[in-house]
Amino acid sequence: MTADKKIMRNTQTLKGNMSAINDKIQQTLKPNGGVSDQPVTDKGQNEQEILDKAKEKFFAEGGKVKKTNPASSGRKRTSKRTTGKNKGKKNAPTVGGRKPILSAWKMLNIKIGQKLGWFDKPGVFCPKTEIEVLDDVTMKLKVSYGKKTTTTDGLMRAELFLRKIKKLPISINKKTGREQADGWHKIGIEGKDGKNVTIHSIYAATPIKTLYDRRGY
């Protein structure tokens, strides 16, 4: 046998083996075990067909899908009500919240030049003590007792000044060791009815909304 015939014979044998292998592959891929004449479909397409059949079976058996709102985080939102005047404004005060710190005389509708008094005893002002409002956008005061006068930035320092001059006891903060006073129980103003009232009582009687409105922020 010549070399050319051997090569031709080996080639034919190889082709036959390849054909048999291909038939086995096609039988394996076909669901019923036969040889399929259709090309093998894409893997993703097969998976989608399986998913569609599963859905049909699920709904046929009475299955139901619960709808959810993707925009909802599941947390309850707390709303803050604002005062009518400041509604919609950034950092608007909330209704029913805590009162703001007294930081300006205008919050109590007390004007520049207003004379205040020092309570020697409930309802009675000291005749030797003079207190005058110097600025209504702050708590600045001019305080005088006899020949001694000073300017303070608020009620607390005014009370401490007068206590030292009058040689009255001064409370000490146990944590800080510093002198302390509130001022608005010892300093007051003459009311419309002629009765002397404390600054604290005026503040306590003023609505929260009014305090914020007069303060301006």
What digits encode the pLDDT tens for the residues 70-120?
555 555 555 444 444 444 444 545 555 899 999 999 999 999 999 999 999
Domain spans in the chain, listed from the N-terminal domain onward: 3-60, 105-215
Tell me the H-state helices in the chain: 3-29, 43-60, 155-166, 199-205, 208-215
Tens-digit pLDDT profile for residues 169-186: 999 999 999 999 989 999
pTM over 0.85: no
Per DSSP, the residues of 15-60 read: HHHHHHHHHHHHHHHSTTSS---SPPPPHHHHHHHHHHHHHHHHHH
